[in-house]
Structure 1
Amino acid sequence: MSARTSGARAGVALSLGAGLVLAAIVPAAAHGHSGHAPSSHEDRSTEDRITETVEAMSIDELIGQMTWTRVYGNSADDDSMAAENQQYYGVDTPAEVIEKYDLGGVLYFAWSNPIIEGDPVGAAELSNGLQEVSTSEAASGIPLAITIDQEGGIVARMTEPATVLPGNMALGATFDSDLAHRQGQVLGSELAAVGVNVDFAPVLDVNTNPDNPVIGVRSMGADPQTVADLGVAQVQGMQSEGIAATAKHFPGHGDTDVDSHSGLPIVRYDRETLDQHLVPFQAAIDGGIDMIMTAHIIVEAIDAQMPGTLSHDVLTGLLREQMGFDGLITTDSLGMGALKDIPGHPLDDGDIAALAIQAGSDILLKSPDVDASFAGVHEAIEAGDLTRERLESSVTRILAWKAERGVWADDPSVPVDAVLDTVGTDEHLATADEIGERAVTMVRNEGDVLPLQPGRDSVLMVGAGSAWPERMGPMLIERGFEVTEDYEDGSSPSPGYRERAVAEAADHDVVVFASNNANPAQQEMVAALAETGTPVVVVATRNPYDVNVLPAADAVLNLYGWFEPSFHGAVAAIAGDINPTGLLPVDVPTADGSQTLFPIGFGLHYPVTPAEPELLDRHGRERDRYTVPESQGVQYLVNGEVTEAGTYQVPRSRPGGRTDENRVVTIVAEPLEGWELAEGATTEWTMEFTTGRPGHGHG
């Protein structure tokens, strides 16, 4: 049945009994289900019952509970991807993979489980089928952790009709913890509806390296406290929906210039700098996060030899002992190239699995060779490098989490007919659109080329194919612009495409160019378009640094994503329907990296006209009122004091009928930092309130 080491299956008969006992001994209170049939064990504490169950497991069953990996197919018994399952596991179906290894969890991908991408009902049915297998006597008898990487933005396994979110850096550009909490709720509720109980999100990396090839817009920014505030809000929103959030990638992947999928990043900063990258993780720990995912990077300030995933100093010394984390630690994917690229330490998949557990990880995530992982752990035990007790401690932690989160339940299935009541609702889509609108960051607007005038201005819509300009063109047309669309695939516009766009530019009032990490070919095309004399507006759809290599662009809007909510925000800003309010969540350096071109918090806005206050002088002095309005980009001073929006009573006159000077109210509007008032706007209003007949205010 299994390619695992001989003798390792000695506990199989016991494991079936253990699975049945396990399902019976967790009381209803542990997982929130009512109607749980009492058992002879009901008087025992959950902790004691978990201990009893763990002690009854074989070594293989312990390793299996720690093994969370992908399975290929759209249902438990789907053999349409048997070739892939055979290649990695030697069996045909997802059910057989779960049964072979007594898996503790599975990991969904659109390429291994295509149904999850666009069919949430089918995804729920898949989850239910896998749970049915896992809770049967043929497997562990314990419900699965069903996991996914659903960060929002460029890393999202579920797409339409699920809610498509702009992404974390777009969220970072709003600097709004309430929006972050709502994003977490959207993710958590939609995943719970399809039977997923773990999201490997949010990314809490502080992205301080503009050349980072793997994090970038997956991060919420470069300021540690902002990332912490938004990250904790997102975690709490997600976990309020019953989904485990996972902070990644510990101890911080934000200052790397190597992608750990293909190579080994090494960061050489000092401990003081590391502490800044740890700020969001400590905040998440203090905020009650369920899981933390390790990074396959060497942090020399802690361990100059081993990447975090395999370092006892990082996972146990730093994360457990210094930072006080007692939740679940999971590796990042064990199939990534970084772990095979450690200088002086050639490792096979068995070595990697054993070292990850020695370091302190509870979960072996997506091993490329599960049989080798099992064998490596057995060899480490036989050599005295690992103990059964070490495995038991992780499995105890996993089962306690499953009980607390309600994963370990009488019936872990989800109601399939209710999926679409949650997934992709109007409320969720509105949250995505709000993030997209509020994220738009205007970093250049020479000559006030923006906003444009719908119904009057004609637009040539072009751009790099990797920026998805074809999503934006129809939105401009719908908004009322006359638009000529011309698109080409790929990230590097061809000379022919560039020449064609240049020839078309003269016939339009403006060119809108969608960029994506503007490479030399994109830079050349923007420069050539600008030379025509037609204003060029760039919408930068990925990392926010394009402005520093596109000096000829008249206007630059950073979107941080190429999804519909982001483009809706861009069109609304271009048309003047919204005033761009997004602020840079990172520093933008000059092209040569020697200086800061734009700092964190920079963002331009259109000039604003202050809303007019209301001053009411009525018969009877107790009825005199003035109202300070809400007005974007404006603060109001009442008699020289900054005053929040609201309605206020005018002070009474002094005894003897003399008028108190405080009954003269002067309200002055001033722009907030980074804003300016429209030319000719009224900015001052004064009224002398009377004690008898009403007076009149004047501007």
Structure 2
Amino acid sequence: MLKRPVHRALALAAALSLTATLAPAAAASAAPKPPGKERAAEAYAHRTMKHMTLEQKVGQLFILFAYGPDADAADARNTALYGEATASDIVSEYEPGGFILFSARDNIVDPTQVATLSNGLQDAAMDSGAGIPMLVSTDQEQGLVTRIGSPATLFPGNMALGAGRSAKDARKAAAITGQELLAMGIHQNNAPVADVNVNPDNPVIGVRSFSSDPGLVAELTAASVRGYQKDAGIVATAKHFPGHGDTATDSHTGLPVITHTLEEWQRIDAPPFEAAIAAGVDSIMTAHIVVPALDDSGDPATLSHKIITGQLREALGFEGVIVTDGLEMAAVRQKYGDGEVAVRAIEAGVDQLLLPADPQEAYQAIDEALDSGRLTEDRIDEAVERILKMKYHQGVIKQPTVRVDKVMKTVGKHSSLRAAEKITDRTTTLVRNDDGTLPVAVDGRTVLVTGYGEVTGRTLAAELTARGAEVTTLPTGTAPSAALIDQASAAAAASDVTIVLTNGVTATSRQKDLVAALDAAETHLVVAGVRNPYDINQLPGVDNFIATYSYAAPALASLAKVITGEITPRGQLPVDIRTGDDSGDILYPFGHGLGW
């Protein structure tokens, strides 16, 4: 049994569930009969729920994680959090509806290992009391948030796709990503990001967003949903409702407040989620943000009935599964305890609880809320029915495990890598080329690659070496010392060409000093922003600037092609870039992009 108090009505729950009329089922009976697939999903959900205990239903609400790359390997960190040492034991004990994988928690080594881990988790789920397969998920947004790296096919991320302006490319990128995840036994991707990044200082979204334009974000969000669900057959999760694009606070560490009026929210933030719903998105993730125009209580959206039920369910008409963002994040933990947060999220209308900070406390709090009548079994049934239907539609019920020996026939195959290359080549954006210094020949010339990122620099250096350059790398990071700046300046003076990579340049950033010193050196200087295109507003003196939106390998390969003139830059800015002073005037408008 779980290491938590057993619900005192549990002994009656199974018997009652055989005769109780479920609220969702009753509502459905009054509506026209759904199409065949929907009827089959409903039949599966109702049939399964009749034989589930209330405790097992509660388990379906949770998406948990474990430390380690193997389902049966003991890890002291698991014991500290769950009271169980292995991932398999956690699944057996808690019977969660889902499990999420992270590279930072040692779950990911390579694609075949991921498939083996997923199979082990599913074996534990199938051997547990309810015997219901889990949805295994991850955050493979691509670009900045990529959990599974090479040899999986990599793409430069959403803002790069926004620069490419192609719904077809966005759908293809999602389809390839989804197909590879499914081959590894991952059934749900927490993507696409549907936030409209209207705040250049946003520390948590930024290039994870397609654009600052609601229409473009809506178009590419819908295309991505179709790529994941229709083409790849995995669950897409549009995030972060009601819209995380206008904040200067990171919800991992603080509680952001979005000051949009209701009209602004309807015009800016809502359209991508409406588009996702129209495209048939299976799941939507909530945001731990306060939006006073939608709910003036001060509670984050994840815990707000007005926002989750009032807006997402009733106003936008979403009938799928609503999942929280990680409940271990600071923004949602500031006002209430970890157990109370879980209860309030369910009360708000959420179906799935992702990453509770204290799983045992969260399970116990829901049990106690059921005991007291604060939560009802009907409310739990409503959520569980949605979850089971989503699992049925996705296909994990019929096929919970994958063939490990077949994984690499799908992951990183040549056609996918070639598609990623072509898509990425259409995203790189030439923002400034004032004196026509680009492109520049590098064959037979000495080239210095400096600035942000040791791995990033080496990756670009390899691309340039392959094009005949004699390359030296000197990584400086984002806060170089005066001595390191002097060293880079001297190295630049001794090189024919210098390429400086920037990442997150601000008014007080030492990167500005680095770029200025390199600009003064006797070298042919090329400046490339490998994350935020906004870097250029702090570098007014440079002659050229290229935006890649990403430091993923495909983006750096395309950067090398643009620098050397191998391809013509085709990307268009998906955001306005404003001046770095108080005026906030537009320096380079949405849609700007140069070619040769």
Q: TM-score range by the shorter chain?
A: over 0.9
Q: What does residue 360 of structure 2 align with?
A: 371
Counterpart among 45, 49, 58 of residue 50 in structure 1: 45
The residue type paired with residue 424 of structure 1 is: G
Q: What does residue 98 of structure 2 align with?
A: 105
Deviations 1:291-328 (A, max 9, x none): 00000001111012211100111111100111010010
Query: Structure 1 570/274 Cα, relative in aligned 2: closer, same or farther at 3 Å?
Result: same
* 1:133–1:139 contact (8 Å) kept in structure 2: no
Q: What does residue 547 of structure 1 align with?
A: 536
* 2:4–2:363 contact (8 Å) kept in structure 1: yes
How far the C-alpha of 1:566 sits from its partner, in A, is 0.7
Question: Residue 319 of structure 2: SS of its match in structure 1?
Answer: coil
Question: Take 1:425 and 1:555, find their aligned partners in 2: how far apart are those partners?
Answer: 36
How far the C-alpha of 1:101 sits from its partner, in A, is 1.1
The residue type paired with residue 140 of structure 2 is: Q
2:509 paired with 1:517: no
Query: Structure 1 484/412 Cα, relative in aligned 2: closer, same or farther at 3 Å?
Result: closer
Question: Take 1:578 and 1:9, find their aligned partners in 2: how far apart are those partners?
Answer: 68
Question: Take 1:60 and 1:466, find their aligned partners in 2: how far apart are those partners?
Answer: 50
Question: Take 2:96 and 2:294, find their aligned partners in 1: how far apart are those partners?
Answer: 33
Q: What does residue 372 of structure 2 align with?
A: 383
Question: Take 1:224 and 1:126, find their aligned partners in 2: how far apart are those partners?
Answer: 39
Question: Take 2:138 and 2:9, find their aligned partners in 1: how far apart are those partners?
Answer: 30
Q: What does residue 232 of structure 2 align with?
A: 241
Q: What does residue 313 of structure 1 align with?
A: 306
Long gaps (5+) in structure 1: 19-28, 33-43, 607-699
Question: Take 1:48 and 1:151, find their aligned partners in 2: how far apart are those partners?
Answer: 33
How far the C-alpha of 1:48 sits from its partner, in A, is 4.2
* 2:529–2:547 contact (8 Å) kept in structure 1: yes
* 1:64–1:101 contact (8 Å) kept in structure 2: yes
Q: What does residue 196 of structure 2 align with?
A: 206
* 2:8–2:371 contact (8 Å) kept in structure 1: no
Q: What does residue 440 of structure 2 align with?
A: 452
Q: What does residue 2 of structure 2 align with?
A: 2
How far the C-alpha of 1:545 sits from its partner, in A, is 0.7
Counterpart among 154, 158, 162 of residue 164 in structure 1: 154
Question: Take 2:198 and 2:484, find their aligned partners in 1: how far apart are those partners?
Answer: 35
Question: Take 1:110 and 1:419, find their aligned partners in 2: how far apart are those partners?
Answer: 18
Q: What does residue 95 of structure 1 align with?
A: 88
Counterpart among 110, 113, 124 of residue 133 in structure 1: 124
Q: What does residue 642 of structure 1 align with?
A: none
* 2:238–2:283 contact (8 Å) kept in structure 1: yes
TM-score by length of 2: 0.92
Query: Structure 1 261/31 Cα, relative in aligned 2: closer, same or farther at 3 Å?
Result: same
TM-score by length of 1: 0.79
How far the C-alpha of 1:31 sits from its partner, in A, is 9.0
Query: Structure 1 471/45 Cα, relative in aligned 2: closer, same or farther at 3 Å?
Result: closer
Q: What does residue 290 of structure 2 align with?
A: 298
Q: What does residue 555 of structure 2 align with?
A: 566
Q: What does residue 262 of structure 2 align with?
A: 271
Deviations 1:204-251 (A, max 9, x none): 100000000000111111111111111111110111211000000001
Counterpart among 25, 34, 54 of residue 59 in structure 1: 54
Counterpart among 454, 457, 471 of residue 459 in structure 2: 471
Question: Residue 479 of structure 1: SS of its match in structure 2?
Answer: coil
Question: Take 1:514 and 1:139, find their aligned partners in 2: how far apart are those partners?
Answer: 54
The residue type paired with residue 259 of structure 1 is: D
Counterpart among 255, 271, 274 of residue 282 in structure 1: 274
Question: Residue 567 of structure 1: SS of its match in structure 2?
Answer: helix
Question: Residue 426 of structure 2: SS of its match in structure 1?
Answer: helix
How far the C-alpha of 1:554 sits from its partner, in A, is 1.7
The residue type paired with residue 483 of structure 2 is: G
Q: What does residue 243 of structure 2 align with?
A: 252
Query: Structure 1 49/431 Cα, relative in aligned 2: closer, same or farther at 3 Å?
Result: closer
Q: What does residue 27 of structure 2 align with?
A: none
Question: Take 2:360 and 2:488, find their aligned partners in 1: how far apart are those partners?
Answer: 55
Tell me which of the two structures has the higher relative contact order, counting C-alpha pairs closer than 8 angstroms and 6 or more residues apart: 2
How far the C-alpha of 1:287 sits from its partner, in A, is 0.6
| Alignment root-mean-square deviation, CA | 2.2
Counterpart among 515, 518, 526 of residue 529 in structure 1: 518
* 1:502–1:532 contact (8 Å) kept in structure 2: yes
Question: Take 1:450 and 1:111, find their aligned partners in 2: how far apart are those partners?
Answer: 39
2:108 paired with 1:121: no
2:333 paired with 1:340: yes
The residue type paired with residue 500 of structure 1 is: Q
Query: Structure 1 552/49 Cα, relative in aligned 2: closer, same or farther at 3 Å?
Result: closer
Counterpart among 583, 591, 596 of residue 580 in structure 2: 591
Question: Take 2:250 and 2:555, find their aligned partners in 1: how far apart are those partners?
Answer: 26
Question: Residue 486 of structure 1: SS of its match in structure 2?
Answer: strand
* 2:44–2:389 contact (8 Å) kept in structure 1: no
Query: Structure 1 12/499 Cα, relative in aligned 2: closer, same or farther at 3 Å?
Result: farther
Deviations 1:350-407 (A, max 9, x none): 1100000010100011101111111211222233321110000000111111112211
Question: Residue 420 of structure 1: SS of its match in structure 2?
Answer: helix
* 1:309–1:315 contact (8 Å) kept in structure 2: yes
Question: Take 2:559 and 2:12, find their aligned partners in 1: how far apart are those partners?
Answer: 59
Q: What does residue 69 of structure 1 align with?
A: 64
How far the C-alpha of 1:455 sits from its partner, in A, is 2.5
Question: Take 2:312 and 2:381, find their aligned partners in 1: how far apart are those partners?
Answer: 20
Deviations 1:23-77 (A, max 9, x none): xxxxxx9999xxxxxxxxxxx9653452243244333211101111102232322
* 1:31–1:405 contact (8 Å) kept in structure 2: no
Query: Structure 1 12/183 Cα, relative in aligned 2: closer, same or farther at 3 Å?
Result: farther
Question: Take 1:45 and 1:507, find their aligned partners in 2: how far apart are those partners?
Answer: 70
How far the C-alpha of 1:13 sits from its partner, in A, is 11
Question: Residue 213 of structure 1: SS of its match in structure 2?
Answer: coil
Counterpart among 305, 313, 316 of residue 323 in structure 1: 316
371-380 vs 206-215, greater mean Cα deviation: 371-380
Question: Residue 327 of structure 2: SS of its match in structure 1?
Answer: coil
Query: Structure 1 139/431 Cα, relative in aligned 2: closer, same or farther at 3 Å?
Result: farther
Counterpart among 468, 474, 496 of residue 486 in structure 1: 474
Deviations 1:379-438 (A, max 9, x none): 2223332111000000011111111221112x4211111100100111111122223221
Q: What does residue 79 of structure 2 align with?
A: 86
2:173 paired with 1:183: yes
Larger radius of gyration: 1
How far the C-alpha of 1:467 sits from its partner, in A, is 7.9
* 1:464–1:492 contact (8 Å) kept in structure 2: no
Deviations 1:88-129 (A, max 9, x none): 110111111111111111011113343x2x411111111111
The residue type paired with residue 301 of structure 1 is: A
Deviations 1:428-475 (A, max 9, x none): 111222232211111111211101013254322211237822221221
Counterpart among 187, 190, 194 of residue 197 in structure 1: 187
The residue type paired with residue 270 of structure 2 is: L
How far the C-alpha of 1:582 sits from its partner, in A, is 0.6
Question: Take 1:603 and 1:232, find their aligned partners in 2: how far apart are those partners?
Answer: 25
* 2:10–2:55 contact (8 Å) kept in structure 1: no
Structure with greater proportional helix content:
2
Q: How many residues align?
A: 573
Question: Residue 475 of structure 2: SS of its match in structure 1?
Answer: coil
Q: For residues 148-163 of structure 1, what are the structure 2 equivalents within 5 Å?
A: 148-163=138-153
Query: Structure 1 470/184 Cα, relative in aligned 2: closer, same or farther at 3 Å?
Result: same
Question: Take 1:437 and 1:364, find their aligned partners in 2: how far apart are those partners?
Answer: 39
Q: What does residue 424 of structure 2 align with?
A: 436
Q: For residues 339-418 of structure 1, what are the structure 2 equivalents within 5 Å?
A: 339-341=332-334, 346-409=335-398, 411-418=399-406
Q: What does residue 21 of structure 2 align with?
A: none
Query: Structure 1 533/76 Cα, relative in aligned 2: closer, same or farther at 3 Å?
Result: closer
Question: Residue 356 of structure 1: SS of its match in structure 2?
Answer: helix
